[in-house]
Amino acid sequence: AQSVTQPDIHITVSEGASLELRCNYSYGATPYLFWYVQSPGQGLQLLLKYFSGDTLVQGIKGFEAEFKRSQSSFNLRKPSVHWSDAAEYFCAVVSLFSGGYNKLIFGAGTRLAVHP
Amino acid sequence: NAGVTQTPKFRVLKTGQSMTLLCAQDMNHEYMYWYRQDPGMGLRLIHYSVGEGTTAKGEVPDGYNVSRLKKQNFLLGLESAAPSQTSVYFCATRDNPSYEQYFGPGTRLTVT
């Protein structure tokens, strides 16, 4: 079955430190992958997406992610974290169905705390 | 251009009461989705619609009904609320053939 795993439930980093959030997927075909961010009390905002091509994708707010097919991973990175990055981060994969509705399968999320 | 809006933002229901959540979009997207978000479980698909007048079940449809009478609106109904339906509900839209989904701000529902 298709699934997305985010191994880290909580991560705490110091402001200015680098960040890597892990995401592993299980999917039989070429995946279409997303990272979303959810600030407290807010909806989900798209950070970046991977459909094909260059395996290193750039997103908003200084985030990037690298697709590694051999490791079934799509890890999110940021070189220097800001206090405003404290939020919950979700990795998702598109599940393609013949019916065409193409739902998103989400990981459980990683909650990021940033220490000053 | 409001994007995706949800009404209401918060609601408290007693067990057995009914209510309807409204999702409205002004992007003319064909596809609309209702998800629920629970701690440690990410988002799970409740129902979806591939166009006006169509609806279908997602992963966790029990206890919910939906309607899409107009392209821009997608309604989620709870006929007899249960405490297990305490959750945050998100609506999302998608424009075919893109895979990207756009989310509303959410509705926090508590059933006591």
Q: Is B97 an 8 Å CB contact of chain A?
A: no
45-84 of B, contacting A, C-beta below 8 A: 45, 48, 50, 56, 58-59
B58 vs A99: CB contact, 8 Å cut-off?
no
- Residues from chain B that touch A92, judged by Cβ atoms under 8 A, are 42
- Tens digit of each residue's pLDDT (9 = 90 or more) over B11-62: 999 999 999 999 999 999 999 999 999 988 889 999 999 999 999 998 899 9
SS3 B20: strand
**Helix (H) or strand (E) segment spanning residue B24:** strand B19-25
Q: Cα–Cα distances in Å, from B79 out to A38, B17, B55, B83?
A: 29, 7, 17, 13
- Tens digit of each residue's pLDDT (9 = 90 or more) over B62-75: 999 999 999 999 99
Q: Cα–Cα distances in Å, from A23 out to A34, A89, B2?
A: 10, 10, 31
SS3 B10: strand
Do B95 and A102 meet the contact criterion of CB atoms below 8 Å apart?
no
